[in-house]
Structure 1
Amino acid sequence: MNKEDQVLKGLRDLYNRIVWLNKDKMEESLKGYTSTEVHCIEYIEKNIDSNVTKLAEFFYMTRGAISKLTKKLIEKGLIESYQKSDNKKEIYFKLTEQGKVIYNIHEDLHQEFQERDKAVFEQITEEQYDSMLSFVDKYCKHLDAEIKKVGIDSK
């Protein structure tokens, strides 16, 4: 296996291990909510004036899929829609109090997982971080260009 294959396999294996290790605790703590719902809640909380278009771009989903998702979150009482007084056309989303509860549970779990894995990250040098971040940035830009070629809008 060449180094490119090793890196890609390593990234997939790393991601799969993280998901597997976190899965039971996430599912137990966030019972009744899908991963997509929870991450949508997270995005809305962290990004002012979230709307269907911004969510679709971020999650690489269609606007129709995001509309269904946000409708479901509204029905569950986790988000609410609003309009700005200067723009009655656009609909934005914000968290309800119940949505903030879910957001905080999710954030607390991420903090717990970061603490668990802290020992690894403490060993990484600035140069190693810079190198990894450079690779991720280059790969993302390449993939964005490929996405654009097939006619799907990227970020």
Structure 2
Amino acid sequence: MNKEEQVMMGFRDLLNKTVWLNKFKMEESLKGYKSSEVHCIEYIGRNVDCNVTKLAEYFYMTRGAISKVTKKLIKKGVIENYQKPDNKKEIYFRLTEQGKTVYNIHEELHKEFQERDKVVFEQVTDEQFDSMISFVENYNRHLDEEIKKQGIILK
């Protein structure tokens, strides 16, 4: 296996292991919510004036799929939609009090997981962080260009 393959396998292994380790605690603490719903709540909680288009772009999903998720979240009472007085066409989303509770539970879980993994990150030098960040940014730019080349439009 060459170094490129080792890096890609390492990323997959890291992602799969963190998902598996975090899954049980997340499911226990956030019963009744799917992962996609919780991440949608997280995005809405962190960003002002979220709409279907912004959510679809962020999650690389179609607007139709995001519409289904947001309708479920409205039905569960964790988000609500609103319009701005000067723009009656666009519909935006914000968290309800119940949504803020879910958001806060999710944030606390992330802090707990960060604390668990702190022992590894404490050993990483600034130069190593800079190198990893640079690689991730470069790879993301490359993938963005590949997506554009393929003409993939998420609508």
What TM-score bracket applies, with the shorter chain setting the length? over 0.9
Pairwise CA distance, 1:69: 0.7
1:42, distance to aligned residue in structure 2 (A): 0.3
Partner of 1:93: 93
Cα distance in structure 1, aligned partners of 2:100 and 2:153: 30
Task: Report the RMSD for the aligned CA atoms in angstroms.
Answer: 0.9
Deviation at 1:44, TM superposition (A): 0.2
SS of alignment partner, residue 113 of structure 2? helix
Tell me how many residue pairs correspond in the alignment: 154
Give how far 1:149 is off.
Answer: 1.4
Equivalent AA in structure 2 for residue 143 of structure 1: L
Per-residue CA deviations over 1:10-47 (Å, capped at 9, x if unaligned) read 00001111011111101100111000000000000101
The alignment status of 1:83 with 2:83, answered yes or no, reads: yes
Aligned equivalents of 1:152, 1:100: Cα separation in 2: 34
Give the corresponding residue for 1:20: 20
- Aligned counterparts of 1:19 and 1:72: Cα–Cα separation in 2: 23
Post-superposition Cα deviations, 1:81-102, rounded to whole Å, max 9, x if no partner, equal 0000111110000000010110
**Structure 1 residue 50 corresponds to structure 2 residue 55:** no
2:7 counterpart residue number: 7
What does 1:4-153 correspond to in 2, within 5 Å? 4-153=4-153
How many Å separate the matches in 1 of 2:151 and 2:81? 30
Name the structure, 1 or 2, with higher relative contact order (CA <8 Å, separation 6+): 2
- Gaps spanning 5+ residues in structure 2: where? none
Write the distance in 1 (CA, Å) between the matches of 2:42 and 2:153: 22
Aligned residues: percent identity? 75
Aligned equivalents of 2:68 and 2:25: distance in 1? Answer: 27
| SS at structure 2 position matched to 1:80 | strand
Following superposition, the deviation at residue 109 of structure 1 comes to: 0.3
CA distance in 2, matches of 1:150, 1:74: 34
Q: Deviations over 1:98-155 (max 9, x none)?
A: 101100000000000001111111111110000000000010011111111111248x
1:81–1:94 Cα contact (<8 Å) kept: yes
User: What is the identity, as a one-letter code, of the residue corresponding to 2:58?
Assistant: F
* Mapped partners of 1:33, 1:142: distance in 2: 33
Q: TM-score, structure 2 length as denominator?
A: 0.97
TM-score under structure 1 length normalisation: 0.97
Distance 1:80 1:152 in 2: 30
Q: Say whether the 8 Å CA contact 1:57–1:153 is kept in structure 2.
A: no
In 1: Cα distance, 2:82 partner to 2:12 partner: 39
